[in-house]
Amino acid sequence: MLRSFRVVCGVLLFSFAIDYAQCNGGKRLMCYFSSDSPKTKGYGRYTVNEIPVELCSDVIYRGVTFPEWTRGSYVFNNEELQRLGAFMYTIKARSRTVRNHITLLERGKEALSYSIMAEIPERRGAFVKAILQLLEQYGMDGIEIAWEWPGTMVKFGGISSDRESVVSLLTDVRSGLKSRNKELFFFGAVYPKVLRESYRVTSICQLVDFVTLFTFDMRPHTNNVADVHAPMRNRSFETEPNRAKTNVVNGVETWIDFGCPPKKLILGIGLFGQAYTLANPAVYNVGAPTLGPGAEGQYYYEGYYPYYELCLLVRSGWSIFYDPIGQMPFAVRGNQWMSYEDTNSIGMKLNFLQEKRLGGVILQYVDYDDFWGFCGSRNPLTTYIYQRLKQIPSDILFAIEWNNK
């Protein structure tokens, strides 16, 4: 059967120019590259030369700041464009096959930038023109619209017309990209309230190539509760309505139930640890009260540790436990509590991805993996995901097997 599948794939590739990835498991492994990572101090400094292009099907440069509205046009920051140009020059020299995309970020004061732009047709047109020029100038394959919190129900910004404006914006961007054979991604939250009130899921999924899901870092420190940051399912202590279904399984299934084809959903996996300071070191189970973020590490702001730092840290006298419902490990030392992903927890997520026939995985961030090999081999989590995705039968093979029954 495997040999015949390879023959079929060869015919399909020759006849219809199907992407090779569709015959190699068919699942994308998208790797976010943080544009700030080259500025990280010490051993945390990560450049385009460290990206494992042999593992990533796509590299998403995350990103450039939302462009500034100036005299009827949108203009990108010139310094950021210079860094993008250097990045693209190097990555294209390193790989001819990896796809390259870019994320437009809203940062701080720009929290309303998408809302203001998307509700006005003339501004939407200028925005589309600016991103098309950006993609063509740097030879990129597509763009991710990271409009993280549309609408007024969240504290980060948004206006009441955002639900309709999201669709209007994606319609205009899709129209502009179509003739240029570029891809369109949408960064999608899984919070129940946002899904209900901010998105027209069916329309969004008809317009985009993929939805990159925010299925990581789902437990803010402000909750003052020790919890794994990307639980598969919720636990009995989680009774607050919006939190009660904020998890990987419910989030993905809600996107599907609301009308998104599973193959367009890309599961987000965070390669980092989230740390808390316990209110009482003697009470350390999942759900224990906390005082806020954990201690600051060597490389990032307090409460967050890249995998290359935490993999060494938890070996230095921390006690390791496992949340059987959230299906993630956590480690405790004194009043410090930290959840993180390992190959076991990622394996559970990939089993779910295969069951639901999702389109692939996106890593937040590839530069958080153990790229130095401090704890063993280099890029262990990225390599594990790559190998597991290769083992998943493609949808083409699934159709062949189904038709032969």
Place 393 in a pLDDT band, splitting at 50, 70 and 90: confident
Q: What pLDDT, on the 0 to 100 scale, is given for residue 110? A: 54
Place 404 in a pLDDT band, splitting at 50, 70 and 90: very low
Q: What pLDDT, on the 0 to 100 scale, is given for residue 306? A: 98
Amino acid letter for position 321: F
Residue 1 has pLDDT above 60, yes or no: no
- Domain annotation covers residue 199: yes
- Domain annotation covers residue 277: no
Strand 272-278 to 336-339 pairing: antiparallel
Domain of 152, CATH number, reads 3.20.20.80
Place 64 in a pLDDT band, splitting at 50, 70 and 90: very high
Q: What is the DSSP string of 123-163?
A: HHHHHHHHHHHHHHHHT--EEEE-----SSSSTT---TTHH
Domain that holds residue 239: 28-270+341-390
Q: What is the mean pLDDT of residues 11-25?
A: 41
Residue 272 is given by DSSP the state: E
| Sign of torsion over alpha carbons 132, 138, 139, 140 | negative
- Domain annotation covers residue 399: no
Lowest-pLDDT range of 52-66, 144-158, 186-200, 367-381: 144-158
Residue 284 has pLDDT above 60, yes or no: yes
Over the stretch 321-357, which tens digit does the pLDDT of each residue have? Answer: 999 999 999 999 999 999 999 999 999 999 999 999 9
Please provide residue 323's backbone torsions phi and psi, each rounded to the nearest 5 degrees: -90, 110
Exposed e or buried b for every residue in 77-113, given b needs 16+ CB within 10 A? eeeeeeebeebbeebeeeeeebbbbbbbbbeeebbeb
Q: What pLDDT, on the 0 to 100 scale, is given for residue 244? A: 83
Average pLDDT, the chain: 90
Q: What is the mean pLDDT of residues 253-261?
A: 98
Over the stretch 169-205, which tens digit does the pLDDT of each residue have? Answer: 999 999 999 889 999 999 999 999 889 989 999 999 9
Q: What is the mean pLDDT of residues 253-276?
A: 98
- Domain annotation covers residue 314: no
Residue 17 has pLDDT above 60, yes or no: no
- Domain annotation covers residue 300: no
Q: What pLDDT, on the 0 to 100 scale, is given for residue 109? A: 53
Q: Which run of H or of E encompasses 304?
A: strand 304-306
R_g over Cα of the chain:
21
Lowest-pLDDT range of 6-20, 274-288, 337-351, 371-385: 6-20
Residues with Cβ within 8 Å of 380's Cβ and at least 6 positions away in sequence, in order, are: 343, 369, 370
How many independent structural domains does the chain possess? 1
- Domain annotation covers residue 11: no
Sole residue written with tokens 């310094």: 79
Place 230 in a pLDDT band, splitting at 50, 70 and 90: very high
Q: What is the mean pLDDT of residues 17-44?
A: 79
Nearest to 106 by CA among 136, 75, 147: 147
Q: What pLDDT, on the 0 to 100 scale, is given for residue 243? A: 83
Q: What is the mean pLDDT of residues 299-310?
A: 95
Nearest to 344 by CA among 370, 357, 360, 326: 326
Could you give the CA distance from residue 53 to residue 58 in angstroms, rounded to a whole number?
Answer: 8
Amino acid letter for position 124: R
Judged by phi (left if over 0) then psi (alpha if -120 to 50, else beta), residue 84 lies in alpha
Residue 257 has pLDDT above 50, yes or no: yes
Q: What pLDDT, on the 0 to 100 scale, is given for residue 151? A: 85
Over the stretch 124-171, which tens digit does the pLDDT of each residue have? Answer: 999 999 999 999 999 999 999 999 888 865 566 688 899 999 999 999
Residue 394 has pLDDT above 80, yes or no: no
Sole residue written with tokens 């995705």: 389
Could you give the CA distance from residue 76 to residue 243 in angstroms, rounded to a whole number?
Answer: 37
SS3 labels along 89-127:
HHHHHHCCCCEEEEEEECCHHHCCHHHHHHCCHHHHHHH
Q: 3-class DSSP state for residue 184?
A: strand
- Domain annotation covers residue 312: no
- Domain annotation covers residue 294: no
